[in-house]
């Protein structure tokens, strides 16, 4: 481990990575890659995509370690990995659409989770998310879309856990209102 003790904190390792220490990056990888791989595999059945996303996550850590705030890196790493997975899915979807147009063959059917994530980005939910306040939106994205725990979200956003819970409740309420405005009930009810 190039002189990095296994009990070094994530924050100490990240400071070393920010200073260009590749051994510190290797130590972070050894510490976090296993659980990241497991969580990514639950969300994506393509092992090649999971490997690419994991690699991209640690490339991002290498480039932006100086921007991390807090002691533990877990929530921050998962946020990076989850966003890289969404990006990879977009690339796959684009490639599938191009292939479908070029070959007029049907693209693979996306999983239920992929359809939900696409709806969150592009459908009414995405539009409604854009209408709620940014501090509420970031809590919802971290807890619902990225799958972070309340504690991980608190660490990632630098706010108390109670604030995360309160903002999550307010965000859900505002999201319901925004969705209702996008899809008002028909006048006069069913025909």
pLDDT, tens only, 25-37: 999 999 999 999 9
Alpha helix stretches (DSSP H) within the chain? 10-18, 22-43, 47-64, 74-103, 112-122, 124-131, 134-140, 150-157, 161-182
- Residue 77 tokens, joined: 């790493």
What's the Cα-to-Cα distance from 65 to each of 2, 7, 60, rounded to whole Å?
18, 19, 8
Q: Which of 26-35, 95-104, 149-158 has the lowest mean pLDDT?
A: 95-104
What's the Cα-to-Cα distance from 161 to each of 142, 151, 153, 157, rounded to whole Å?
13, 6, 8, 10
Q: What is the mean pLDDT of the segment spanning 146-157?
A: 78
Q: Which residue has the higher pLDDT, 167 or 94?
A: 167
Q: What is the mean pLDDT of the segment spanning 159-174?
A: 90
Q: What is the pLDDT of residue 124?
A: 63
Calpha distance 144→133 (Å, rounded): 16
Calpha distance 33→42 (Å, rounded): 14
- Residue 78 tokens, joined: 């998962």
CA 74 to chain CA centroid, nearest Å: 12
Q: What is the pLDDT of residue 75?
A: 86
């Amino acid at each position: 481990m190039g002189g990095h003790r296994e009990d070094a904190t994530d924050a100490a390792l990240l400071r070393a990575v920010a200073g260009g220490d590749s051994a510190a990056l290797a130590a972070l990888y050894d510490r976090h890659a296993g659980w990241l791989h497991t969580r990514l595999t639950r969300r994506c059945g393509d092992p090649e995509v999971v490997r690419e996303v994991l690699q991209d996550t640690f490339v991002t850590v290498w480039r932006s370690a100086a921007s991390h705030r807090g002691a533990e890196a877990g929530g921050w790493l998962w946020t990076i990995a989850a966003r890289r997975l969404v990006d990879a899915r977009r690339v796959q979807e684009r490639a599938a659409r191009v292939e479908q147009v070029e070959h007029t063959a049907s693209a693979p059917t996306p999983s239920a989770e992929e359809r939900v994530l696409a709806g969150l980005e592009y459908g009414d939910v995405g539009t409604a998310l854009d209408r709620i306040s940014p501090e509420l939106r970031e809590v919802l994205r971290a807890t619902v879309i990225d799958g972070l725990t309340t504690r991980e979200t608190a660490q990632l956003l630098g706010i108390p856990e109670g604030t995360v819970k309160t903002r999550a409740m307010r965000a859900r309420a505002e999201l319901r209102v925004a969705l209702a405005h996008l899809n008002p009930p028909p006048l006069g009810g069913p025909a």
